[in-house]
Amino acid sequence: MDTRNFILVLSLILSGIAIFRYLFYLLISPLYDFHKEKLLKDSRGLSKSQIEKRTKISVIVPAWNEEVGIITSIESLLKNSYKNLEIIVVNDGSTDNTNKVVKQFYNKRIKDKNLRGKTFTYINKRKNKGKGAAINSGIKRAKGDLIITMDADTKFEKDAIFTVARYFQNKDIDAAVGNVKVANSRTILGIIQQIEYTLGFYFKRTNSVINCEYIIGGAFGIFRKSVFEKCGNFDENNRTEDIEFSTRLKSFGLKTIYIEDAIAYTEGADSILGLLKQRLRWKKGRLDTFIKYPDMFLSCKKEHNFFLSWIVLPIALIGDLELLLFPILTPIVFYYTFTLSDFSYWFAWIFFFTSVIFLCYIFGSKKNNWRSFVAIPLFYILSIILIFVEIYAILGSIKLYLEGENITWQTWNRKGVSNV
């Protein structure tokens, strides 16, 4: 086989795997609506007051240098319709005015006020120990049957917590992730991130149906308190503690789901530099997690989910390989395409991904921003930038791992989720 044919065959194989991945999610995802009805069976016939009486919920908000947006997050919890709610804010040794801002807000809006069944606890840690340690401090104080983790740049919709409580009347559910949207979607970078989130959370519909949800993000993660008793607390040495912990849950064979109608808004990266830092942290954390749990791949253990071990996780690794090969294979395929004057390969890809994005957009959420839909053509142009961002993150995470280095809390120039 000559070089040209080898490159084309390799490209076709990788393309075939990518197409299989998207078709796999597209075909199973519509079953989520039936899956959701089954999950909600134990909440039928229960009033809101009955559910509140049965289920106390603790929300832990870890914060490091979040003076801009943290009050919006706290206010969204105080205004939340769910009453049997414990709010725990943990300041992890912030060097800005986070401590001052929270204390002023507490004295003005919370102290000696009627919170309608809610309680508020503030933990001010003088030394920064990382997000995992901050969440663990909150878990130790939490009295709720359910524990929700919430980022300090996030706000919940008014009924989001009640929606969570309805699902968790089903005792088979151990953990879940809510539907997180990008608040600052008016900028070009924000629109692209919103399309990414829409695609990603559409895939979570499939993962939920086949019990493969292995990434429960810290912005809106939900856990039974008994889960921590069984699996331990968050890993304080892993800077993507949410990925590590949710993968650990899957290694124990626990049931994790996606709750599409529990909605939160978070502040996305507002610059390419911020996006680079974010993706590097995500990739490094995932790499550390995969290395920590190698037995999750191609596993025949009873407690390990077949689809997760044999399809979802292997394809995730192959996807990273495809990204790394993109700068090498694409120019070569372009060259042969123009040399042979055969553009069917590229037309097929454009048609396929347009269909994928469109279907994910339509079925992935009931409240999508139409500006995001109009931006789909723009997605193709800027996706090239995002591909190289991902490549940078993959290579950077490998470099950090080989050098034995870690990464710290991520921060950027916050505007606050209420102002974006």
Whether 18 and 35 share a structural domain: no
The secondary structure of 152-189 as a DSSP string is: TTEEE-TTHHHHHHHHTTSTT--EEEEEEEES-TTSHH
Residue 287 lies in a domain: no
**41 in the same domain as 7:** no
* Per-residue pLDDT, 352: 63
- Both structure tokens of 297: 């791949």
Examine residue 72 and state whether it is found in any structural domain, yes or no.
Answer: yes
- Percentage of the chain modeled with pLDDT above 90: 54
Residue 159 lies in a domain: yes
In sequence order, the 6+-apart residues with CB closer than 8 A to the CB of 210 are 28, 305, 307, 308
Specify if 361 maps to a domain.
Answer: yes
pLDDT averaged over every residue in the chain: 85
Residues 376 and 266 in one domain: no
- Residue whose tokens read 């699996």: 231
**313 vs 112: which has the higher pLDDT:** 313
Residues 315 and 366 in one domain: yes
Does residue 101 fall inside a structural domain? yes
Domain end among 226, 251, 272 = 272
Residue 376: which pLDDT band, with cuts at 50, 70 and 90? low
| Tens digit of each residue's pLDDT (9 = 90 or more) over 172-215 | 999 999 999 887 666 767 777 777 776 777 789 999 999 999 99
Residue 161 sits in the same domain as residue 182:
yes
Q: What is the mean pLDDT of residues 321-336?
A: 77
Rounded CA separation 386/369 (Å) = 21
pTM greater than the 0.85 cutoff:
yes
Asked which of 249, 272, 295 is the last residue of a domain, the reply is: 272
Is 178 within the bounds of a domain?
yes
pLDDT at 295 over 90: yes
What CATH code is carried by the domain that includes residue 169?
A: 3.90.550.10
Residues 234 and 112 both lie in one domain:
yes
Asked whether 233 and 136 are in contact (CB, 8 A), the reply is yes
Q: Which of 151-155, 227-231, 376-380 has the lowest mean pLDDT?
A: 376-380
The pLDDT value given to residue 420: 42
Assigned domain for 253 exists: yes
Highest mean pLDDT of the ranges 155-159, 324-328, 374-378:
155-159
Is pLDDT at 323 greater than 90 in this prediction? no
Whether 8 maps to a domain, the answer reads yes
Q: Report whether 256 contacts 211 (CB < 8 A).
A: yes
| DSSP H or E segment with residue 85 | strand 85-92
Residue 174 sits in the same domain as residue 258: yes
What is the DSSP secondary structure assignment for residue 226, as one 8-state letter? Answer: H
CB 336 within 8 A of CB 8: yes
The two tokens of residue 261 are 């109608």
Mean pLDDT, rounded, for 37-47: 94
Q: Domain range for residue 221?
A: 31-272
Residue 327, pLDDT score: 82
Q: Are residues 141 and 245 in the same domain?
A: yes
User: Two tokens at 147?
Assistant: 């524990």
Q: Do both 200 and 309 map to the same domain? A: no
pLDDT at 366: 47
The pairing of beta strand 146-149 with beta strand 175-182: unpaired
Q: How many distinct structural domains can be found in the chain? A: 2
User: Do 263 and 310 belong together in one domain?
Assistant: no
Phi, psi values for residue 44, rounded to 5°: -65, 135
Question: Are 47 and 101 within one domain?
Answer: yes
Same domain, 324 and 238: no
pLDDT, residue 197, reads: 74
Among 165-174, 180-189, 256-265, 389-398, whose mean pLDDT is lowest?
Answer: 180-189
- Residue 380: predicted pLDDT: 65
Bigger pLDDT: 358 vs 261: 261
